[in-house]
Amino acid sequence: MSHDMEADYVIVGAGSAGCAMAYRLSEDGTRSVLVLEHGGSDAGPFIQMPAALSYPMNMSLYDWGYRTDPEPHLGGRRLACPRGKVIGGSSSINGMVYVRGHARDFDHWAEQGAAGWSFAEVLPYFKRMEDWHPGGPFPDAGPGDPRWRGKGGPLHVTRGPRRNPLYRAFVEAGAAAGYERTDDYNGEKQEGFGPMEQTVWKGRRWSAANAYLRPALRRPNCDLLRCFARRVVIEEGRAVGVEVSRGGRIFTVRARREVILAASAINSPKLLLLSGIGPAAELAEAGIAPLVDRPGVGRNLQDHLELYIQQACTQPITLYKHWNLLGKALAGAQWLFFKSGLGASNQFESAGFIRSRAGVEYPDIQFHFLPFAVRYDGKAAAEGHGFQAHVGPMRSPSRGRVKLRSADPREAPSILFNYMSHEQDWIDFRRCIRATREIFAQKPFDPFRGPEISPGADVRSDDELDAFVREHAESAYHPCGTCRMGARDDPMAVVDPECRVIGVERLRVADSSIFPRITNGNLNAPSIMVGEKASDHILGRTPLPPENLRPWINPRWRESDR
């Protein structure tokens, strides 16, 4: 062991939150920051070209390759749980969809003991991180309200060109079914159908690495160390560094001020457990001496599940016409030389957020629309032209856990989401399927609608829909909640509202693992926001002043689902 590296702040993980903290903690030049990252470079078209999104999450070079334990309510299937093992973390392998979450999500956080994290208090951080470019909206949709959005921040947020007529048909069909429209689901009004936003800028993936880490690394007080983090080193109840391995050596990187874990909802609890922080009996069973008994470490695991509802298209206008060697080569060449064309978008350009039933105050179902019938991993394209909606419930009551298999830091943890373990999950998924079918059956799709590909027109009854869900539901790759933030006297809380690990000094966790409950939509935006806000807590700064903008809540929510 040799103590040959140190910094004021040592951040474990160069992902969404870690990159944001590296940028903010090093900003004034007075403190040194060292980021530890096991993954390698994010250079190259597989990551930087938005349309290539299905490749990096299926490459062991960029992905930790985690899989769940057999999920008992999904027929014992083991589902993929990709996490970014690369500069930028999961922001370098995700779908680049930008969703803040609903205002009520963050109010719920505050109600659950995360004081200071209500929507009014997190909105200034969302605005600080954004450089919002509303782009050319649909002709009859406004550009959104700039009072709700940020300009000049590190993270570019854009909208796709929406040239394919199917994008408009989806929004029009949602309105024809009686649902709301929204010109900015990240603004005042999430509920409704409208354009989808993406972290793409000038045709490139605008990951946390591009937005935050690269500018930070140009400063003399911020550096990056490629290594494998084994555990947090704790002496007399205080985190003093991180034990790492690199090049066959094991040594400790010392932290003069604090250690900050930002290693994902899977790896952050894993590191706490390896460090002796977690459920004492579980630690002892794994052969680790318990230092701090925190029963909440690794618990409260949440995710979004989704299905692909696929419809054949009667006109040859979908992305299927490019799904061949020549089409891919042309799109790749156009992107490579001009950063334009099909390669310059993630192709998720229309969205919808609806409520599943009367009595639900704010949206609990999300749609991603794609003018192509293909799996998210790109492995199974329908034979012929088609389109699809990715649909799933936003607030499943199911909870899972992450735990160690052994004391070996190199061994992947045991992951069980316990998907579909509540009856409400099944009710919600049936509603998702039937609502999608209703939307696809509307008049705006008449010129395009062929037979249903999946689930198939003959899958109608509750039992048949349940069987389809059991066999085909997939993770939307939004794990969170495993180091839950809450009041210091909450026995299941892992960190307090300033992201400090309860029971250990000079140790924080700041990433999606601290979410008390999963937010509406994709998690990259709220994960970056956590990094932004945690930075002010770490630096001892007064938080940005709250902004009391009121979100739109459907006045009919008690009586109607639309």
Known binding-site residues for FAD equal 8-37, 86, 94-97
**Residues 264, 89 contacting (CB under 8 angstroms):** yes
Nearest to 457 by CA among 294, 325, 313, 312: 312
Distance, in Å, from the CA atom of 121 to the CA atom of 384, rounded to the nearest integer, reads 48
Write out the H or E segment, with its range, that includes residue 460: none
Distance, in Å, from the CA atom of 377 to the CA atom of 53, rounded to the nearest integer, reads 8
Binding annotation: 8-37, 86, 94-97
Q: Hey, which residues are catalytic here? A: 478
Distance, in Å, from the CA atom of 483 to the CA atom of 313, rounded to the nearest integer, reads 44
**SS3 state of residue 39:** coil
Distance, in Å, from the CA atom of 493 to the CA atom of 498, rounded to the nearest integer, reads 12
Per the structure block, which two tokens stand in for 297? 């470490």
Tell how far CA 236 is from the center of its chain: 35
**Residues 67, 362 contacting (CB under 8 angstroms):** no
User: How far from 362 is each of 349, 354, 357, 471, 555, CA to CA, in Å?
Assistant: 22, 8, 10, 29, 10
**Residues 50, 334 contacting (CB under 8 angstroms):** no
Per the structure block, which two tokens stand in for 27? 């900003």
Q: How many CB atoms lie within 10 A of CB 489?
A: 9
Per the structure block, which two tokens stand in for 145? 């309200």
**Residues 11, 35 contacting (CB under 8 angstroms):** yes
**Got the DSSP string for 255-277?**
EEEEEEE-SHHHHHHHHHHHTTE
